[in-house]
Amino acid sequence: MKKFTFIIALLALLSSSCTQTPPPKPHGPLPEARQLAWHEMEYYAFVHFSMNTFTDIEWGYGDKDPKLFNPPELDCKQWVKVFKDAGMKGVILTAKHHDGFCLWPSKYTDYSVKASPWRNGKGDLLRELSDACKEAGLKFGVYLSPWDRNHKDYGKPEYITYFRNQLRELLTNYGDIFEVWFDGANGGDGYYGGAREVRKIDRKTYYDWPNTYKLVYELQPNAILFSDAGPGCRWCGNEEGWVRPTNWSLLKRDDFYPGVSCDREFLRAGQEDGTHWVPAEVDVSIRPGWFYHKSEDHKVKTLPHLLDIYYHSVGRNGNLLLNFPVDQRGLIHEKDVEQVMKLANVLKQDFANNLAKGKKFTATNTRGNSSKYSIDNVNDNNKETYWATDDNVTSASITIDLGTETEVNRFLSQEYIALGQRVQKFTLEAMVNNSWKEIASETTIGYKRILRFPTVKTSQLRFNITHSKACPLISNIEIYNAPMVLNAPVIRRNQANEVSLSGADDNVTIYYTIDGTTPSAQSKLYSQPFTLSGKATVKAICIDTKTGKKGEVTSEEFDISRANWKIKGREQETKTFDGNPNTSWRKTGKKFPLDVVIDLGQTTTLKGFTYLPEQNRWSSGIVFKYQFFTSTNGRNWKQVSKGEFSNIKNSPIWQKKLFSPTKARYVKFKALSTTDDRTAIGIAEFDILTK
């Protein structure tokens, strides 16, 4: 009898194992192991520091004396401490930018730190930073510009050997490298060993990228390769700090090359029908520029701006690469440290208390009714477990019972991406007054999606996956109630000299000063636009008078009045001087150069000018190469500035050019070329500098 019972039990066990719920099948392109590890990094630092730091420009030509490079207080441990304290998991260093100057003593060129007075020519910045990262437990990555405006062979086959030799140095001498960064800027004006000429290359074929990638993987098999085309991760299509709310980690990779893309929109949103897993990396600087400029010390991004960047990158299935322009001392500037630590502290508060922890989750479908794919898996703090539906179920709902009425304003969800990105659309509902109220309707999830929404008081949330490519797989759900962060005021002055302050939250008051001092609740209360015709520094702050909570101080420096400025031939045109960056003036022609002549209304001493290109989504006519002339009578002209607006295509921000003081009433801004080669120029705002 016992033998018979044993046989029955064994048959039952075998039968059970034969009918065990099968796992979901992979769907679409899948991430490699190194990409999965990269996703988990989420947030890390970029460092731009080189010869440009000491010449106050963004893109060097490669013709500067290496002796200019001499940071007296350089301390990589200071950098790494800032990054680690800010919650970052690694750092990528610009080992060589477009000017060709190397931050390590490359044996293939003299244009490096070994020709500088820093460390008596014996320094190696990559060694110092890689050692500091290793000591602190941060990962280390390198940026190597494919374009070299210094090297005599750039544009010739011999340069590729040089480029790969340098790459080999970086990947064999500094330990493990988590990411190798290749910029898309390639070809143009340069020093080129003294030739001083324009060199153009075929970006698709010149670098022979497949063999360059092969070299990287041979030397650093776990490294992620960044470029417009990946193959490890892709550029996000802008340098402003965001990807689209719809963000697929998929891309038709063969349609892209470093510096060549069929459409930037695909970089910003990915492609649902992409052929390869190429997730988005969001690169953005904490200041307007990538390299340090003292004139930008007051332009470090505000806390609300940095928070937006975080939620529009990490919160939208991207990784955030936040740049720090190390200053001429060789340190991360105090203002940059202050702002990134504010961000770190607020993020800690935002995600301090997971309101979903220990709460009851229910789902409308569970794969095979199996405990292996239980809804409890989304709340078990284990990234390797997940909830799944049956194969024929591509829409389902998850309800979270919070137990009591609870204030919430953040919802975090993650897919189990090892088997592919699947969710196409979802909604979030809250139980309010005994009925379901929709509070969000979104698209993709991917590795991580974080929703921000106005605070709602509810006892239940319902997460509805309405469309999915295959059965959805959700590995994690978290819910939070983040403290409010007040907006930073926006300060503008129009051509009529009216200053307006905007951007305050409801029930929040703006206070301001016009003498450059820090505003407080004892400063002037803003109620309506006010007139300010002369030079001034306006600072403003939002204060919640009920709680005393303060926002970030914003500041704008205004030069002389533009009230009487006129564009010759277009005297009624005012959009260029209206203080609104969202309006612009355009001029088209048949060929370059194209110019605009401005009558300032009076003779004054000029020291420079600023130019803001069109800010439209599909802007064209962004001036790249320019000339700038002055005149006292509008007939006799003197050239006072000539050059390029480096990186303006990818970063269409305010451009500032200084020149020797000169008296003038008329100025002529001449475009020699634009970033898209179209014979049109667009100007959102233009100003002159007299300070």
Q: Which residue has the higher pLDDT, 619 or 249?
A: 249
Provide mean pLDDT across the span 293-304.
95
Instruction: Say if strands 250-251 and 276-277 run parallel, antiparallel, or are unpaired.
Output: antiparallel
Question: In the chain, pLDDT over 90 holds for what percent of residues?
Answer: 90
pLDDT over 50 at 75, yes or no: yes
Question: In the chain, pLDDT over 70 holds for what percent of residues?
Answer: 96
Please state whether 248 falls in left (phi above 0), alpha (psi between -120 and 50) or beta: beta
pLDDT score of 572:
85
Q: Which residues have a Cβ under 8 Å from the Cβ of 106 and sit 6 or more positions away?
A: 112, 166, 169
Amino acid found at 216: V
CA angle 334, 336, 339 (to 5 degrees): 110
CA angle 375, 379, 380 (to 5 degrees): 105
Distance CA(310)–CA(302), nearest Å, equals: 12
Cα torsion through 524, 527, 531, 536, rounded to 10: 40
pLDDT score of 492:
97
**What structural domains does the chain harbor?**
33-348 (3.20.20.80), 360-480 (2.60.120.260), 490-558 (2.60.40), 566-689 (2.60.120.260)
Q: Which residues have a Cβ under 8 Å from the Cβ of 604 and sit 6 or more positions away?
A: 560, 663, 664, 665, 688, 690
Provide mean pLDDT across the span 668-688.
94
Instruction: Quote the strand ranges of 373-529, DSSP E.
Output: 387-388, 396-415, 423-432, 435-442, 449-468, 473-480, 490-493, 498-502, 509-513, 524-525
pLDDT over 70 at 396, yes or no: yes
Q: Which H or E element spans position 134? A: helix 125-136
Note the pLDDT tens digit of each residue in 206-251: 999 999 999 999 999 999 999 988 999 999 999 999 999 999 999 9
pTM for the whole structure: 0.94
**CA 443 to mean position of chain CA atoms:** 21
CA angle 391, 393, 396 (to 5 degrees): 135
Of the pLDDT bands very low, low, confident and very high (cuts 50, 70, 90), residue 13 is very low
Count CB-CB contacts under 10 A for residue 28.
19
DSSP 170-213: HHHSSS--SEEE--S---EEE-GGGT-EEE---TTTTT-HHHHH
Amino acid found at 373: Y
pLDDT score of 260:
66
- Nearest in space to 420 (alpha carbons), one of 25, 22, 20: 25
Note the pLDDT tens digit of each residue in 497-539: 999 999 988 889 999 999 999 999 999 999 999 999 989 999 9
Note the pLDDT tens digit of each residue in 170-218: 999 999 999 999 998 889 999 999 999 999 999 889 999 999 999 999 9
Q: Which residues have a Cβ under 8 Å from the Cβ of 250 and sit 6 or more positions away?
A: 28, 29, 270, 271, 272, 273, 274, 275, 276, 277, 278, 421
pLDDT over 70 at 493, yes or no: yes
Distance CA(84)–CA(86), nearest Å, equals: 5
pLDDT score of 618:
67
DSSP 308-352: HHHHTTTTBTEEEEEEEE--TTSS--HHHHHHHHHHHHHHHHHTS
pLDDT over 60 at 1, yes or no: no
pLDDT score of 262:
63
End-to-end CA distance of the chain: 103
Distance CA(192)–CA(158), nearest Å, equals: 13
Provide mean pLDDT across the span 453-457.
97
pLDDT score of 210:
94
Distance CA(410)–CA(417), nearest Å, equals: 22
Of the pLDDT bands very low, low, confident and very high (cuts 50, 70, 90), residue 10 is very low
Note the pLDDT tens digit of each residue in 624-661: 999 999 999 999 999 999 999 999 988 999 999 999 99
Backbone angles phi, psi at 436, to 5 degrees: -80, 130
Burial of 404 (0-12, 13-18, 19+ CB in 10 A): exposed
Distance CA(518)–CA(540), nearest Å, equals: 8
pLDDT over 70 at 261, yes or no: no
Q: Which residues have a Cβ under 8 Å from the Cβ of 191 and sit 6 or more positions away?
A: 61, 62, 63, 149, 150
Amino acid found at 34: R
Note the pLDDT tens digit of each residue in 472-485: 999 999 999 999 99
Residue 542 DSSP symbol: E
Amino acid found at 454: P
pLDDT over 60 at 664, yes or no: yes
pLDDT score of 203:
87
Provide mean pLDDT across the span 128-152.
98
**Range name among 28-42, 135-149, 562-576 with the lowest pLDDT average:** 562-576
- Nearest in space to 251 (alpha carbons), one of 242, 238, 237: 237
Q: Which residues have a Cβ under 8 Å from the Cβ of 284 and sit 6 or more positions away?
A: 239, 240, 241, 309, 313, 320, 321, 322, 323
CA angle 65, 70, 75 (to 5 degrees): 145
- Nearest in space to 236 (alpha carbons), one of 208, 267, 206: 267
**Range name among 39-43, 348-352, 545-549 with the lowest pLDDT average:** 545-549
Distance CA(132)–CA(126), nearest Å, equals: 10
pLDDT score of 257:
78
Tell me the three state secondary structure of residue 53. helix
Backbone angles phi, psi at 471, to 5 degrees: -50, 130
DSSP 61-87: -S-S-GGG---TT--HHHHHHHHHHTT
pLDDT score of 507:
83
Provide mean pLDDT across the span 344-365.
97
Provide mean pLDDT across the span 146-172.
97
* Paired tokens of 607: 């020291």
DSSP 608-673: EEEEEE--STT----EEEEEEEEESSSSS-EEEEEEE-TTTTT----EEEEEEEEEEEEEEEEEEE
- Nearest in space to 617 (alpha carbons), one of 168, 272, 380, 268: 268
Count CB-CB contacts under 10 A for residue 625.
18
Place of tokens 């679409």: 28
Backbone angles phi, psi at 333, to 5 degrees: -60, 150
**Range name among 540-554, 585-599, 609-623 with the lowest pLDDT average:** 609-623
pLDDT score of 644:
94
Q: What is the mean pLDDT of the chain?
A: 94
Q: Which H or E element spans position 269? A: helix 264-269
